[in-house]
Amino acid sequence: MKRIITALLFGLQGTTLTAGEIGALALEFNHHTVPLSDGSSLNIDGLGIRYSEVTTLPVRLELVLGRIGVRHDGDPAALGFQTDGYSAGLNLTLASPRWHSLQIGADAGYRYYTADQQFDLQQMDIDWHQSEARGWLALHLSPRTTLYGCTVVTYISGSQTVNSSSPSQRDFNNDQRNGYCAGLRIDVGDGGYIGFESEQRHQRGGRLYFGRHYDL
């Protein structure tokens, strides 16, 4: 995990900014239920931070780090476990100029998750990789209010190991590769903003986030 986070940080530091360009720092709370191909599901609660900055290219680079709690519902080997751990990832966003009140864009991202729990003589380790691409359309209802929707393509590949009196090891994948989202973001002044996003089909849940833009 430390090697992955270090690599992500070095990747972020490799970008450069020019005077007047904008970055942002946000805090987010999220809850998602991810259906898996065997009929079980991952129940995930998270608290994270997002740091983004504009690169010299017409894209925004975003680093995402978080603390997670994971429960594997529907898997007998994981019964009674409530693991906790970390997540780390990168997102790239490309957005068009506004046309009247409309704007379109695309996101591509990667996230790594790892969590574990040990009690008595039992231990569970679970980790997975998630790759995702989005196409989105935003409607700027006012200078401070933006409504947006997106289509999502995502792929999850992971593994789970349980060491107990009946040890087990299994691999898993997500059940639904395609999904959609909708969200609302409001600028609250002085560079601050608040937003909520809901996702369905590929995963069910949403995230609430608070952030602030800054000039360099």
Question: Would you tell me how many other CB atoms lie within 10 Å of the CB of residue 80?
Answer: 11
**Residue range 116-132: mean pLDDT, rounded:** 95
Q: Residues with Cβ < 8 Å from 189, sequence gap 6 or more?
A: 144
Reduced to 3 states (helix: H, G, I; strand: E, B; else coil), residue 82 is coil
- DSSP, res 174: B
pLDDT at 82: 96
Instruction: Please name the helix (run of DSSP H) or strand (run of DSSP E) that holds residue 136, with its range, or none.
Output: strand 122-140
Q: Write out pLDDT tens, residues 185-211.
A: 999 989 999 999 999 999 999 999 999
Residue listed under structure tokens 């949403």: 206
Per-chain mean pLDDT for the chain: 90
**Residue range 76-97: mean pLDDT, rounded:** 95
DSSP string, 179-196: EEEEEEEEEEETTEEEEE
Q: CA–CA separation, 60 vs 94, rounded Å?
A: 7
Of 46, 191, 72, 176, nearest in space to 127 by CA: 72
**Residue range 15-24: mean pLDDT, rounded:** 52
Which range among 7-21, 44-58, 94-108, 150-164 shows the weakest confidence by mean pLDDT?
7-21
Of 109, 76, 107, 110, nearest in space to 94 by CA: 107
Instruction: Please name the helix (run of DSSP H) or strand (run of DSSP E) that holds residue 9, with its range, or none.
Output: helix 2-13
pLDDT at 6: 43
Question: Would you tell me how many other CB atoms lie within 10 Å of the CB of residue 46?
Answer: 20
Residue 108 has pLDDT above 60, yes or no: yes
Residue 72 has pLDDT above 60, yes or no: yes
Q: CA–CA separation, 24 vs 72, rounded Å?
A: 33
Cα distances (angstroms) measured from residue 27 to each of 41, 50, 69, 133:
26, 7, 17, 22
pLDDT at 216: 57
**65/9: higher pLDDT:** 65
Residue 14 has pLDDT above 50, yes or no: no
Decide if 160 contacts 173 (C-beta within 8 A): no
Note the residue count of the chain. Answer: 216
Q: Write out pLDDT tens, residues 141-200.
A: 999 999 999 999 999 999 999 998 889 999 999 999 999 999 999 999 899 999 999 999
pLDDT at 164: 85
Q: What phi and psi values does residue 200 have, to the nearest 5 degrees?
A: -140, 160
pTM of the model: 0.88
Q: What phi and psi values does residue 77 have, to the nearest 5 degrees?
A: -65, -25
